[in-house]
């Protein structure tokens, strides 16, 4: 008869934390557990983002937002979870670090799937440097061949009558594309109440982008705290490489559009500037 353990495959799950260090280093169990927990949540995020993609194809922004809200909650958990590693001293990590080399989070196929699926497609470059099995490479290549959420989002907007163009998948949008998108979405940002579902979807996508960025930021700070300026086990320069990823944006134009809003157009009057007090 089914019970808790057999339904959830708990005995099998508890067999999956196999230490590489010998003699066993105390903190390696934590290191494995936290990565496995991340991978399980990545699986759930990918599952939900695939459903968000379907909602966009079906012109259903309401359901897309509902599912994205679940993704956002999971991501908030993932951002705070990284700090558990701050309880590991640099010395504790060094006691087993060489045993796991050359494995690295850089090779997380599911993390790349989240990036590719959402619209971060500098993927060709990343894939060249990733060590992975043929089946994993195929899986990532499939993701690169599919339209991203960003592409599906702009396609849906076009069907809904917004006068936007679809930005390219793997290069930054040129000036004409950016201007067309700003013009096509300006009313949404000037009058969110008139475009309730579209506005909520835009902002849920920005929040997804922001959560991944926050994760990157907290991850690199934890990495700096633990290994300082050492190179990564995956072969990168470490903290310097990770800091360079902080400028990545999945929906750059949705971030930029708020800088295009004009308060004169909104209120028809130039509002006064606040004078900040001079510090004493
Ligand atoms: C002691 C803790 C950790 C250290 C010292 C560390 C270190 C690093 C370093 C140095 C890199 C750059 C690639 C390389 O050369 O290896 C990296 C990348 C990465 N790590 Fe970690 N990491 C830690 C924990 C984690 C955890 C818990 C996760 C959760 C999944 C994770 C996921 C990733 C991902 C996804 C990348 C690729 C980021 C990108 O290329 O944008 N790391 N990590």
Is pLDDT above 80 for 273?
no
**Is 241 touching ligand 1 by the criterion CB < 6 Å?**
yes
H or E, element range at 186? helix 175-190
Task: Give the residue whose CA is nearest to atom 35 of ligand 1.
Answer: 105
Task: Give the residue whose CA is nearest to atom 23 of ligand 1.
Answer: 223
The CA–CA distances, whole Å, from 126 to 40, 66, 100, 122, 131 equal: 22, 31, 21, 7, 10
Domains and CATH numbers, the chain: 21-261 (1.20.58.480)
Query: What's the mean pLDDT in 147-171?
Result: 97
Residue of 112, 130, 99 lying closest to 46 (CA atoms): 112
List pLDDT tens digits, range 187-200.
999 999 999 999 99
Q: How far is the CA of 123 from the centre of ligand 1 (A)?
A: 17
Q: Are 164 and 216 spatial neighbours (Cβ–Cβ below 8 Å)?
A: no
- The atom of ligand 1 lying closest to the CA of 108 is 35
- Across the chain, mean pLDDT equals 94
For residue 267, what pLDDT band results from cuts at 50, 70 and 90? low
Task: Report the C-alpha gap between 222 and 213 in whole angstroms.
Answer: 14
The DSSP annotation for 41-107 comes to: HHHHHHHHHHHHHHHHHTT-HHHHHHHHHHHHHHHHHHHHHGGGGGGS-HHHHHHHHHHHTT--GGG
- The atom of ligand 1 lying closest to the CA of 111 is 35
Is pLDDT above 80 for 14?
yes
- Give the mutation target among 219, 236, 250 for probing the ligand 1 site: most ligand atoms within 8 A of CB: 219
Query: What's the mean pLDDT in 242-259?
Result: 97
Q: Are 254 and 210 spatial neighbours (Cβ–Cβ below 8 Å)?
A: no
**Is 220 touching ligand 1 by the criterion CB < 6 Å?**
no
**CB neighbours (10 Å) of residue 194?**
10
**Is 225 touching ligand 1 by the criterion CB < 6 Å?**
no
Given this model, what pLDDT does residue 269 score? 47
| Cα dihedral 253→139→243→249 (10° resolution) | 10
The CA–CA distances, whole Å, from 155 to 7, 100, 132, 164, 165 equal: 41, 44, 33, 9, 8
- The atom of ligand 1 lying closest to the CA of 42 is 30
Cα dihedral 130, 231, 170, 55 sign: positive
**Is 42 touching ligand 1 by the criterion CB < 6 Å?**
no
Is pLDDT above 80 for 125?
no
Is pLDDT above 60 for 272?
no
Given this model, what pLDDT does residue 173 score? 96
Token pair in block for residue 220: 């690199």
């Amino acid at each position: 008869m089914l019970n808790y353990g057999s339904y959830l495959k708990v005995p099998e799950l508890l067999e999956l934390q196999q230490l590489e260090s010998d003699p066993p280093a105390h903190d390696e169990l934590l290191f494995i557990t936290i990565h496995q927990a991340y991978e399980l949540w990545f699986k759930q995020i990918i599952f939900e983002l695939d459903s968000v993609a379907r909602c966009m194809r079906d012109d259903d922004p309401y359901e897309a937002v509902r599912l994205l809200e679940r993704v956002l909650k999971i991501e908030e958990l993932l951002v705070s979870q990284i700090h558990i590693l701050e309880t590991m001293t640099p010395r504790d990590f060094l006691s087993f670090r060489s045993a796991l080399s050359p494995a690295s989070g850089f090779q997380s196929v599911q993390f790349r799937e989240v990036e590719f699926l959402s619209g971060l497609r500098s993927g060709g470059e990343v894939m060249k440097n990733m060590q992975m099995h043929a089946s994993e490479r195929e899986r990532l290549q499939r993701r690169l061949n599919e339209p991203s959420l960003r592409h599906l989002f702009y396609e849906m907007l076009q069907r809904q009558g917004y006068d936007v163009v679809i930005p390219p998948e793997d290069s930054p949008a040129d000036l004409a594309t950016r201007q067309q998108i700003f013009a096509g979405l300006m009313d949404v940002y000037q009058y969110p109440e008139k475009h309730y579902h579209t506005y909520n979807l835009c902002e849920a996508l920005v929040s997804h982008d922001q959560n991944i960025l926050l994760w990157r930021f907290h991850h690199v700070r934890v990495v700096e705290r633990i290994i300082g300026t050492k190179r990564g086990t995956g072969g990168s320069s470490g903290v310097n490489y990770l800091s360079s990823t902080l400028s990545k944006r999945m929906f750059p134009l949705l971030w930029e559009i708020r800088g295009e809003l004009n308060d004169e157009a909104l209120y028809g009057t130039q509002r006064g500037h606040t004078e900040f007090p001079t510090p004493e």
